[in-house]
Structures are given as C-alpha cells and as structure tokens.
C-alpha cells in the first residue's frame, strides 16, 4: 500500500456534504431562474486572468489578498470579484454587445484573507448588472433591487431590508453646506456612523473642517426617521437650491415609486440616508441589504449605480447599475443557524428496488418513470432487504417501488410512501400519477425556512 495522505480541504474553502450541496444548488437555480426571467444573459469569465489586466484599476485594499503567481513567463491572478471581469468583458466585446447589456454571473472568486470562522478564501458571488452605452434609465435602479427582493422571497428568506440611498442626495446636501470639494471625505466619515456612533463622526467631521453647526444639521437630517415618503418629503424641503440634490431626490423618488410597482413589499425596503458605500465609483443609487435577524453578518446584497464601469479598459462611457449577493457567506449563516430546508435534498423522486436476479423489468419501468420526468434510481447492489430500504431512508427518497416476481407477473408495482409508510400494489401508470402528485405537493418548498 502506498503512503496515505490525509484527505483534507484547505481552511476558508467551503466543501459541502451532498445534502447541503443539493440545497445550495437549488438556491443557485432560484437565482438563475429569477435573473433570467428579467432578461439577464449568463456570462462565464475565466478564473485566471493576466495580472496586468485584472489589476489595471489597482487592487486597492484587496491587492495583498490576491492569489497572484507566475507560470512560465506569464504573471497570473485569480479573480477577486466579478466586477472587474465584467468591465473587461464589456470593454473587450463592446462592438458585439447590444446595450443595455444585462448580465448575471454566479461564480467563485478568491481572496487570501486571514482565515477565520465564517470568512472564506474561495466564495461565490452572484451578480447582476445592467450596462448602458453612454446612458441608462433610472428605471434600472428600481428594477435591480426588485429582482433581488424576488430572489430572496423565492428562497423563503423573510425579515430582510433593502436599504437604499442616492449619492447625489448626499452630495447635494454637502454642496448646500458648501463642502462640495470634500464630499468624498465626508461620505467616508458618514459611512462609519453605524460603527463608531454620532459623537465620533462629529469629531472626524471637525477634523476635515466641517463646522459644528453644519455637522449638527447634517446629522439631524441623516437621523431623521419616517416612512420612505416622509423622508422624501423632508428632503424636498431643500429642493430648488442645488441641481445635484434635486436630481438625487427625483431619482430616489422614482426608485421608491417603481420598486413598489415591481412588487416589493413596503416593509422590505427603506431609504437610509447614512448609506454611502465605501467604493468610490458609485455615483447615484446605492443599496445594502440587512438580514434583520443577523445584522452582525453585514450586508448580504449590495451595489449601486456607477457612471464609469470600465474607464481603465476603454474610453467608452459605460454607466450601469448592479447588485451582488455574497452567496457563500449567506449560505454559511443559513446553514449554521439551521434555516436550510433539508427536505428538498433527496437525489431522486423514487428508488426502484428489484427483488429478482434479472434487472430487465426494473430498467424498463425506470425508463418509463424518467420519461414522465420522475427522477429515478435503481438499487442494483446485492444487499439485505433492510439495507436497501435503509438506503432510501438515509437519502430521504420519498417513494420506493418494490419489484418482485409477483409484481412482474401481475404487471404491477408495489409503491411505498416513505413518509406515511403506506404501501399500494398498483399499475405503473397509477404509480406515475401517485409520485407526480407527491412532487406537486412539494413543488413550492422553499430552500430556507424561517418561522
């Protein structure tokens, strides 16, 4: 026997057991189906890119986390998000694409972070973006979060809030106060409000030259609570004084109005003027999504509107709006907190257990079942009966068909409902109906169960 190496998976890399993987796949499928239903194309960019291309913009904070290496004389990097590859893709294929270009990508990205519980080095992002050529309607800013709302509710996630803001609103307010040049700095400070509190924000604002009076006014506006309509009404008190602010208010109103038309429940989205998003490239609407039962995990889905997707690859002006779900991290929490619905993890609808040496009939009826879109496995192994039925049980397969000499002679099958324990000797056609009915009953089972 050769030397044995202990099989292990690197820390920070998620590798799921089969039943969990089934749920993960169902989640991924729900995302894809929903994205598709709104007209997003899938794209699939390489995981490895030339470092020169991938880091064209500079890696920023994540640069030292990047998996970068040499192979032959090529300097390679593994992608660390799906936005840079999208920028590359759109710039590269500009002349072949039809704009607005709607794309989704669900793929693994890599960041060599310090390993810790709940932090991953290989993780899925699930992005949607709508890219325009020169311009893109504000309607897209309402559609994108509405799609994410539909994704989450389809999964069975409840008790989440999409929080939104518009950077033009913030920028306009700063302008009114005479700080237009320091807007980015102020936004960075404002973004920390949740983390460091009002007093520390005031101190930091003073450090960058904001008067105490202005800081008070700003913070009173940002801390104003009320319905989306009330917040917009409050903002409208400042209307007519700054073009930027007026535009921001108009955009924010449109987004709020149309999100409701798209079917987003009123309680699920909320204007939050304190959201600025750290990234410099957002220019309009910005989004964060809180899973209210676990605010500690941070935003589960974020994004926003940007004016310039790919300035480091092309002179074309490519504005867009997008959001991204941190899928692996979300899944990890759902798994940890036992919110996943393990009832949807059966690999097939029915297990056929032949009780004869010859498998001809078992194969034949399985063909019929599969043609009727019933996923079917035949148990082929020579094992004790207990073992065979235990197999269906362990895999949570909802139905078993026993096929012995008697059943074959009578041209029937014996079907056992593994949940109720009920057995019936029926024709194959009746078995198909029975199993189809069972499938239909479970067709609306959600991936996530939150009571």
Q: Which of residues 132-171 bind its own copies (CB under 8 A)?
A: 132, 135-137, 139-140, 143
| Strand ordering across the sheet containing 350-354 | 376-378, 350-354, 399-403, 413-417, 423-426
For its own copies, give the closer residue by CB, 182 or 308.
308
Residue 245 has φ and ψ, to the nearest 5°, of -60, -45
Nearest to 310 by CA among 102, 53, 75: 53
Which residue number, 46 or 226, has a Cβ lying nearer to its own copies?
46
Of 266 and 373, CB closest to its own copies:
373
Partner residues linked to 249 by β-bridges? none
**22 near its own copies, judged by CB under 8 A:** yes
Question: What count of other Cβ atoms lies within 10 Å of the Cβ of residue 166?
Answer: 30
Q: What is the SS3 assignment for 317?
A: coil
The residue to which tokens 């992608």 are assigned: 79
Residue 295, interface with its own copies (CB under 8 A)? no
Q: Which of 73, 199, 267, 381 binds its own copies (CB under 8 A)?
A: 381
- Nearer to its own copies by C-beta: 137 or 227? 137
Cα separation of 176 and 241, whole Å?
7
Name the token pair of 176: 């009114």
Binding mask 246-275 for its own copies (x = CB under 8 A): ------------x--xxx------------
The binder of its own copies chosen from 313, 332, 339, 402 (CB under 8 A) = 313
Q: Looking at beta carbons only, is 75 or 405 nearer to its own copies? A: 75
Binds its own copies by CB under 8 A, chosen from 59, 62, 81, 97? 97
Cα distance from N-terminal residue to C-terminal residue, the chain: 52
Measured from the CB of residue 6, what is the shortest distance to its own copies in angstroms? 7
Closer residue to its own copies in complex, CB, 303/319:
319
Give the total residue count for the chain. 451
Number of residues that bind its own copies (CB under 8 A): 100
Q: Candidates 102-110, 157-165, 196-204, 205-213: pick the segment binding its own copies (CB under 8 A).
A: 102-110
Among 59, 81, 112, 176, binds its own copies (CB under 8 A): 112
Does position 441 interact with its own copies (CB under 8 A)? The reply is no
16 lines the binding site for its own copies (CB under 8 A) = yes
CB of 161 to its own copies, least distance (A): 21
Q: Print the binding letters for residues 319-348 with its own copies: x by CB under 8 A, - otherwise.
A: ----------------------------xx
- In the complex, the smallest distance separating the C-beta of residue 22 from its own copies, rounded to whole angstroms, is 7
User: In this chain, which stretch among 282-290, 377-385, 406-414, 430-438 interacts with its own copies, using CB under 8 A?
Assistant: 377-385
DSSP 72: T
CB 360 within 8 A of CB 411: no
User: Binding segment for its own copies among 98-106, 214-222, 244-252, 411-419 (CB under 8 A)?
Assistant: 98-106
Q: Which of 27, 82, 83, 100 binds its own copies (CB under 8 A)?
A: 100
Burial class (CB in 10 A: 0-12, 13-18, 19+), 415: buried
- Token readout for 428 is 């194959």
121: phi then psi, degrees, rounded to nearest 5: -95, -25
Please tell me whether residue 240 binds its own copies under the rule CB under 8 A: no
Pick from 113, 268, 293, 312 the residue near its own copies by CB under 8 A: 312
Residue from the set 315, 411, 420, 444 that interacts with its own copies by CB under 8 A:
315
Min dist CB 426 to its own copies, Å, is 22
Residue 41 beta carbon to its own copies: minimum distance, rounded to whole angstroms: 4
β partners of residue 163: 270, 288
Q: Does 440 bind its own copies (CB under 8 A)?
A: no
Residues 28-57 that bind its own copies (CB under 8 A): 36-50, 52-53, 56
64 touches 87 (CB < 8 A): no
Whichever of 351 and 401 has its CB closer to its own copies, that residue is 351
Given the rule CB under 8 A, which of 176-184, 304-312, 319-327, 427-435 is the region that contacts its own copies?
Answer: 304-312
Between residue 62 and residue 91, which ones bind its own copies under the rule CB under 8 A? 67, 69-72, 74, 76, 87-89, 91
Q: Is 292 helix (H, G, I), strand (E, B) or coil?
A: coil
Q: Does residue 152 contact residue 447 with C-beta atoms inside 8 Å? A: no
Two tokens, residue 419: 């949940």
**Omega before 100 within 30 of 0, i.e. cis:** yes
* Sign of the alpha-carbon dihedral angle for 218, 222, 228, 229: negative
**CA pair distance 216, 400, nearest whole angstrom:** 69
Cis peptide before 92 (omega within 30 of 0): no
Q: How far, CA to CA in Å, does 20 sit from each of 16, 44, 175?
A: 6, 24, 51
Give yes or no for a contact between 41 and 150, defined as CB atoms under 8 angstroms apart. no
């Amino acid at each position: 026997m050769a030397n044995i190496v202990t099989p292990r998976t690197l820390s920070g890399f998620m590798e799921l057991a089969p039943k969990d993987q089934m749920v993960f796949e169902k989640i991924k499928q729900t995302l894809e189906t929903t994205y598709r239903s709104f007209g997003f194309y899938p794209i699939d960019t390489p995981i490895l890119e030339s470092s020169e291309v991938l880091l064209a913009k500079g890696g920023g904070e994540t640069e030292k986390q990047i998996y970068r290496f040499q192979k032959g004389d090529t300097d390679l990097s593994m992608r660390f998000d799906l936005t840079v590859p999208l920028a590359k893709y759109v710039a590269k294929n500009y002349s072949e694409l039809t704009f607005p270009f709607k794309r989704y990508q669900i793929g693994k990205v890599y960041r060599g972070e310090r390993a810790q519980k709940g932090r991953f080095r290989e993780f899925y992002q699930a992005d949607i973006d709508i890219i325009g050529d020169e311009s893109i309607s504000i309607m897209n800013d309402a559609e994108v979060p509405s799609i994410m709302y539909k994704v989450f509710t389809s999964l069975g996630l409840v008790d989440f809030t999409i929080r939104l803001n518009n950077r033009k609103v913030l920028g306009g307010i700063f302008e009114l106060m005479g700080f237009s040049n320091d807007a980015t700095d102020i936004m960075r400070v404002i973004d920390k409000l949740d983390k460091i509190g009002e007093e520390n924000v005031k101190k930091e604002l003073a450090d960058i030259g904001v008067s105490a009076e202005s800081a008070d006014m700003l913070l009173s506006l940002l801390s104003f609570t009320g319905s989306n309509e009330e917040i917009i009404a409050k903002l409208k008190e400042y209307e007519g004084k700054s073009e930027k602010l007026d535009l921001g208010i108009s955009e924010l109103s449109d987004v709020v109005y149309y999100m409701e038309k798209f079917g987003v429940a009123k309680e699920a989205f909320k204007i939050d003027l304190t959201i600025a998003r750290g990234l410099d490239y957002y220019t309009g609407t910005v989004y964060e999504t809180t899973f209210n039962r676990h605010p500690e995990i941070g935003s589960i889905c974020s994004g926003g509107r940007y004016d310039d997707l790919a300035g480091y690859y092309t002179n074309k002006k490519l504005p867009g709006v997008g959001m991204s779900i941190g899928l692996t991290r979300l899944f990890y929490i759902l798994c940890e907190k036992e919110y996943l619905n393990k009832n949807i993890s059966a690999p097939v609808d029915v297990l056929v257990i032949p009780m004869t040496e010859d498998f001809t009939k078992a194969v034949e009826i399985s063909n019929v079942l599969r043609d009727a879109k019933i996923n079917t496995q035949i148990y082929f192994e020579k094992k004790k009966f207990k073992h065979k039925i235990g197999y269906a049980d362990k895999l949570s397969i909802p139905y078993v068909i026993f096929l012995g000499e008697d059943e074959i002679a009578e041209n029937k099958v014996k079907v056992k409902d593994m949940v109720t324990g009920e057995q019936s000797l029926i024709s194959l056609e009746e078995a198909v109906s029975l199993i189809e009915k069972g499938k239909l009953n479970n067709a609306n089972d959600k991936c996530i169960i939150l009571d």
